[in-house]
Structure 1
């Protein structure tokens, strides 16, 4: 009697493990984010907004902040208000289009923000150093796809749905 392949069972077991590990990963990241935000006396969303602003090449509008964070423009305005009160950003009229207001990070405060990340980055760098180039490429591809899928699901949730069917 021929033996059945164990590949479908192995795949099902791996996907079940991936599901559980993914949930732990997301919870660990959320808790890590909260701990860093607490250290900086920020709301976790404000922390991630600063993270995203640090990746932008120039000052941005509140509308762009709404795009980056997936927040409504009203919520993004309140977020900028909080960051401005905390000294992390300033608002200034766009010199090209005086109707627009640009939000810029404050270099000294961003240096403090960066110092906390720098303090934590050694462990992450060591972890990534253990991977070969193909594994790093897979991680990069996974993270890019995760960012794209998250944006779609956030939009779906904000529109009252549950994300893609």
Structure 2
């Protein structure tokens, strides 16, 4: 198989259609939850990690600390997250998801989970293992590519911070 980014062949087109569909589904999920895409991503991080400090959240989202503070404020106002004191260091706080809010998120992503389960049902267990091996390897590659893009963005073209 050729490199998905190497040309306009059929594999490249299929790969782009897949990435566009995933991105569009993420946008629709954020909109359905009443969130901006950066908030949707932050909530996904919190759902996986359980809790993060504001600094960790800033690093993982690529936002400035000020933009992260505003993001956390919006997540709190919407009832999706809360700040909690660090039990070992009173100067620090953690941001954690509100459990009931994650149930609301599950409702939003339900259609995607259901449809993807239908797709995956067509594959053998070995084929599914290969697909999930790809996901496990591709996620860090995409994160590294994101960092590379951010590091090399020309001045004035860098992402807005809020």
Decide: shared fold, TM above 0.5. yes
1:160 maps onto 2:142 in alignment: no
1:122 maps onto 2:114 in alignment: yes
Q: How far has the Cα of 1:119 moved from its partner?
A: 4.4
Q: How far has the Cα of 1:79 moved from its partner?
A: 2.0
CA RMSD of aligned residues (A): 2.3
Contact 1:89/1:106 (8 A) holds in 2: yes
Alignment counterpart, residue 79 of structure 1, candidates 55, 71, 91: 71
SS in 2 for 1:159: helix
Highest CA radius of gyration, 1 or 2?
A: 1
Q: How far has the Cα of 1:147 moved from its partner?
A: 0.9
Alignment counterpart, residue 50 of structure 1, candidates 11, 24, 43: 43
Q: How far has the Cα of 1:39 moved from its partner?
A: 1.1
More helix by share: 1
The aligned residue for residue 35 of structure 1 is: 28
1:113 maps onto 2:105 in alignment: yes
Q: In the comparison of the two structures, how many residue pairs are matched?
A: 151
Alignment counterpart, residue 69 of structure 1, candidates 61, 64, 78: 61
**Structure 2: 5+ residue stretches without partners:** 155-162
The aligned residue for residue 102 of structure 1 is: 94
SS in 2 for 1:92: strand
1:19 maps onto 2:29 in alignment: no
Q: How far has the Cα of 1:19 moved from its partner?
A: 1.2
> TM-score, normalised on structure 1?
0.80
Q: How far has the Cα of 1:116 moved from its partner?
A: 2.0
The 2-side partners of 1:134 and 1:43 are apart by 37
The 2-side partners of 1:51 and 1:115 are apart by 14
The 1-side partners of 2:132 and 2:59 are apart by 22
Higher relative contact order (CA 8 A, sep 6+): 2
Q: Deviations over 1:39-70 (max 9, x none)?
A: 111112211221221111x3210122234334
The 1-side partners of 2:63 and 2:130 are apart by 29
